[in-house]
Chain A
Amino acid sequence: MTTIPTLETERLMLRAFCVADHKPFAEMSADAELMRFVGGQMDGPDAWRRMAAYTGMWSLRGYGPWALQHKATGAFVGYSGVTWPYGFPEPEINWGLHRSFIGQGYAAEAATAARTFAYDQLGFLTIMSFIDDENAPSIAVAKRLGARLDGGGSYKGRAMGIWRHISPETRPEKRKPHMT
């Protein structure tokens, strides 16, 4: 049995992916520029499989990415969450936005909620984001979150940076009590 929790931020709902997300998620996945550093452009059927894999990760790992829903309009904004795809050196916080929502702070807003979830609900002592060295927009988000470069690695032949997020003790957001 797998339960995918729902979280809320100021402007976003972080919730399980559903079938209706396929259309906007496929639009994102077909966007060559957005997809350049995260696996490349893909067609509708492949986008469906990626969406399913993101969802299935919750069963395999106990955590995974959420779909981001714009609270005010209900629109699909993108995805973010705690993930650990096979081949990554450790779990990461990931994010990706539909073109309509880039440049408005949504990635940082969602990733901050994912970081809180990783520390307070999953009990992680550390978390990173594994970002392609040429992915300047994502590196900017990581920096905005206070992450620092902490080594590197490679994935599918690409040079990747390990962007270490600020620790549970030093993060600015108020610490919530652990779930019991």
Chain B
Amino acid sequence: MTVIIPTLETERLILRAFRDEDHDAVADFYANDPGAAYVGGSTDRRGAWRVIATFVGHWQLRGFGPLAIEDKATQRWLGWCNLWRPPEFPEIEVGWTLAAPFRGKGYVHEAAVRVRAYAFDDMQLPTLVSYIVPGNVASKRVAERLGAKRDGAAQINGVTVDVWRHPHPRGAS
């Protein structure tokens, strides 16, 4: 079995496969960043390594998955943007996570627009959602700026999350 994980580019960002060298940055995120609460909860270096392995393995199992967001200018790891479908997700999700120091600069929007285009144009997905816990105001704002619209709620592992449905580039949604 052979899987090729694509590299995508935007004006300021490279979206690429996670690799072993991201371990320090991911471990720092999971140890110290309050945002870790939205993506599995804080964990140690061992847990962070497992997250990276899981992300890469998701590509092999599904043919899509998370991409690391890298700053073109500095080559720093900023976070990730994912197409994600573990068994408890009713639909494929586009999601985003950015380490605290890099928020507020529009990076997530820039990455998500590119990943969404990949999902609709390259993968030919008919529709795409983002699952956002109601208290996550920052993520909700990103979804709104992306043009996503509230489309009810879903139960994921016993937690109620808002479903945000993304506009399809060719009209249907």
Number of interface residues of B (CB under 8 A): 28
Contact B61 A17 (CB under 8 A): yes
Contact B58 A52 (CB under 8 A): yes
Secondary structure class of chain B's binding surface, majority of residues: helix
Number of interface residues of A (CB under 8 A): 29
Whether, in the assembled complex, A19 has its beta carbon less than 8 Å from a beta carbon of chain B, the answer is yes
Please report which residues of chain B, range 47-94, place their CB below 8 angstroms from some CB of chain A when the two chains form the complex: 49-50, 52-62, 86-88
The residues of B that contact A59 with a CB separation of less than 8 Å are 3, 5, 17, 19, 56-57, 60
Contact B46 A86 (CB under 8 A): yes
In the complex, identify which listed stretch (A42-50, A111-119, A159-167) lies at the interface while the others stay far away.
A42-50
Secondary structure class of chain A's binding surface, majority of residues: helix
Contact B57 A3 (CB under 8 A): no
Q: Could you mark each residue 3-33 of chain A with 1 if its beta carbon is under 8 Å from any beta carbon of chain B, else 0?
A: 1101000000001111100100000000000
Given contacts A22-B87, A87-B46, contact A57 B57 (CB under 8 A): yes
Contact B3 A85 (CB under 8 A): no
B contact set with A: CB distance below 8 Å: 1-5, 17, 19-20, 23, 45-46, 49-50, 52-62, 86-88, 157
